Structure 1
Amino acid sequence: MSPDRPIFVIGCPRSGTTMLQLMLHSHERIAVPPETRFLLSTYFRRRLHGDMRDAENRRRLAEWIATDKATKFRELGVDRTSYVRRAVEGPGSLGSVMGEAFRAYAERFGKPRWGDKRPCYVKHVDALLRLFPDAQFVHLIRDGRDCVASLKEMPWFRLDVFHAIANWSESVDHGRDYAKRLPADSYYEMRYEDLTADPETELARLCGFIGEEFDPAMCDPHKIADMAVPAHKVWHDNTHREVTRARVGGWATRLEPWEIALCDQVLGSRLRAHGYEPGVSKASARHLLTYRKTVARRRLSRYKQQGRDRVNRLREPGPLPAMLTSGQLSLARIPRPRGSSQELIRG
């Protein structure tokens, strides 16, 4: 197994992905930054950025990543000028330009391997694989009712409970699809409840999947929370404490009876499939109809995005896959350089 494969943490929002990010970042060889916002936006706007074999296009894209407030680049703590320079001097592909930012972040901590965490990635694994074809995905799953209850309390979640329920349903459905068609060494599922009950055992298994030795520091993610979680994200306050199961099953008092009934009915089979026991309460016809309309609208929006992406794939502006890791170079059929990765073929 390649020792430098990117690791992506995915899952429904409020499923514990930030805690897992910190656990991975606590490993002596792995660096996983706070959420960034440039991977997907760059991918879906790739035609606007042009062919990355052109050094000037690499420069423009790297400067946008490093300066636009929406990208969250500043939270990486990486020197902007240095990043732009290494992106320009690096391989001529879209994934390489973005991958250089994460490599620079890992180098801040003297670590050889990087990861990234953003819950919505669970819906875009195929796009991420186009950019990082050797990537590994760790899908953290939590009881859907607890996710829904937590989402309702978030200041940034401006949708209703029907969208919250649909979000969890979509996440586990995507996971089921990935489990069927991705190689066993590329996709891994774990449960939040198991991870919080026995961190050492679950993290040791995770390390086996990513090809790393277990690092005991991973069991104490709160020790690095001040450094790796932006202070303005007050909804991640629990990450500054020891791993706890305090909120496992909290949905029973945090959801309204009608919300619990709706979860039981529309998520029942999915909950059982992941080891959770739904109740037997029935939702009202009105709530079921509203939920189904919500699901239909979300599905239509997703199909439209997929359609646009299929069209864009017919007119790719240039190479997409990163050429930075040993696995990526192998897939691109480029011999691994003897010295620095900066010796790679330039655009």
Structure 2
Amino acid sequence: MSMDSCRPIFVLGCPRSGTTLLQQMLHSHRRIAFPSETRFVHVAYEKRHGFGDLERAENRRALAEWITGGKDTKFPVLELDAAEVVEEIVQGPPTLGSALATVFRAYAREHGKPRWGDKRPSYFRRVPMLRRMFPDAQFVHLVRDGRDAVSSLMRMPWFKGDLYAAALTWREAVDIGGRLGARLGPDTFCELRYEDLVTDPEDALRRLCAFLGEEYDAQMTEAYRHARRTVPLERRWHLRTHEAVTTRQVGVWRERMADWEAELVEHVLARRLCHHGYEPAGTGRPATAHLARFHRLLAHRRRTRYVEAARERLARSREPNPVVSWLTGPVPLTGRPED
């Protein structure tokens, strides 16, 4: 087994692009442990200065107790013994990346698997952060027809934006994905289309496994078996993961969008839709007022990203420790095998 085949895996993409389905498929692989969203990786990174010098055991303990018990995290979804994870972090290397890797390695070990991953759609904006902590990581970007992704996002009770924000989020995701693919190369960054994943799951997953350096596992196409145990009923927007894969959600934007919404979304995403193989429907030109509103939001987002980048540069200059994980290679397997 090569070291490459034990690299961390991160799944990312515009929200409502099928990342939960892909996470379930990856966890169904006999060698890969892929939990539901944990939500503590990026928050821990943002809070890293507050934990102080991690060379000090008491600071590693404070970090570990926040990861396992903080209100900002979803550690309980891992179903691990918090006290044992805390002690493992305290006894581990003094870097943030090492502490986070310790948690995921414990999850993988519990499932009897040598490799781990993590999924969060918004990671498309945080790849530099992830690469700082896990420089050997591989990234999988899932792309869905922007019209379907936007129409689905608008129906989510947790989405606080409007149509303009949803369309811009998809555009940002595919633009960043294109830049990452060119910069990181085919050994580190892989792009998949949701439509290919649901139309011919075996073919898409075989290509994905080749990228990951793994043998294809047919159980990946039966991920609904795992989803029925792990995706709660109250997350009704993810309940389709309880079913066998279908193409029913391809093209649903035609029924969901008003004419003016379809006109705006297709217009502002047109070039990118074509680049990813999505045929334009030939909707009319949107109203000038709608276009102007979209471009005002675009300008605001760009200013915000510029400010965030400046803050990140300052934060890096003041770090008390390196953030890179010292834990690489396969997980020592002492836990139970996956069911």
* Coarse TM-score class (shorter-chain normalised): over 0.9
* Secondary structure at 1:138 match in 2: strand
Q: 2: CA distance between counterparts of 1:57 and 1:340? A: 26
Matched residue pairs, number? Answer: 330
Establish whether residue 289 from structure 1 lines up as the match of residue 315 from structure 2: no
Establish whether residue 73 from structure 1 lines up as the match of residue 75 from structure 2: yes
Establish whether residue 312 from structure 1 lines up as the match of residue 325 from structure 2: no
* Aligned position for 2:324: 321
1:139-158 pair list within 5 angstroms: 139-158=141-160
* Secondary structure at 2:108 match in 1: helix
Establish whether residue 105 from structure 1 lines up as the match of residue 107 from structure 2: yes
* Amino acid paired to 1:232: E
Verify the 8 A CA contact 1:141 1:191 in the aligned structure 2: yes
Given candidates 221, 234, 239, the residue that maps to 2:223 is 221
Displacement of 1:114: 0.5
Displacement of 1:317: 1.3
Displacement of 1:49: 1.6
Verify the 8 A CA contact 2:109 2:332 in the aligned structure 1: no
Q: 2: CA distance between counterparts of 1:70 and 1:42? A: 9
Displacement of 1:238: 0.3
Q: 2: CA distance between counterparts of 1:306 and 1:227? A: 40
Displacement of 1:340: 6.4
Verify the 8 A CA contact 1:22 1:228 in the aligned structure 2: no
* Aligned position for 2:52: 50
* Amino acid paired to 1:63: E
Displacement of 1:69: 2.7
* Aligned position for 1:182: 184
* Amino acid paired to 1:4: C
Structure 1 residue runs of 5 or longer lacking an equivalent are 328-338, 342-347
Query: TM-score, normalised on structure 1?
Result: 0.92
1:1-347 pair list within 5 angstroms: 1-2=2-3, 3-280=5-282, 281-326=284-329
* Secondary structure at 1:116 match in 2: strand
Verify the 8 A CA contact 2:43 2:72 in the aligned structure 1: no
Displacement of 1:28: 0.3
Structure 2 residue runs of 5 or longer lacking an equivalent are 334-339
Identity %: 50
Q: Deviations over 1:118-138 (max 9, x none)?
A: 000011101100011110000
Displacement of 1:68: 1.3
* Secondary structure at 1:137 match in 2: strand
Verify the 8 A CA contact 2:11 2:23 in the aligned structure 1: yes
Q: 1: CA distance between counterparts of 2:53 and 2:203? A: 45
* Amino acid paired to 2:301: R
Verify the 8 A CA contact 1:52 1:319 in the aligned structure 2: no
Query: TM-score, normalised on structure 2?
Result: 0.95
Over aligned residues, Cα RMSD in angstroms? 1.5
Q: 1: CA distance between counterparts of 2:332 and 2:192? A: 36
Q: 1: CA distance between counterparts of 2:161 and 2:265? A: 16
Displacement of 1:314: 1.2
Verify the 8 A CA contact 2:80 2:107 in the aligned structure 1: yes
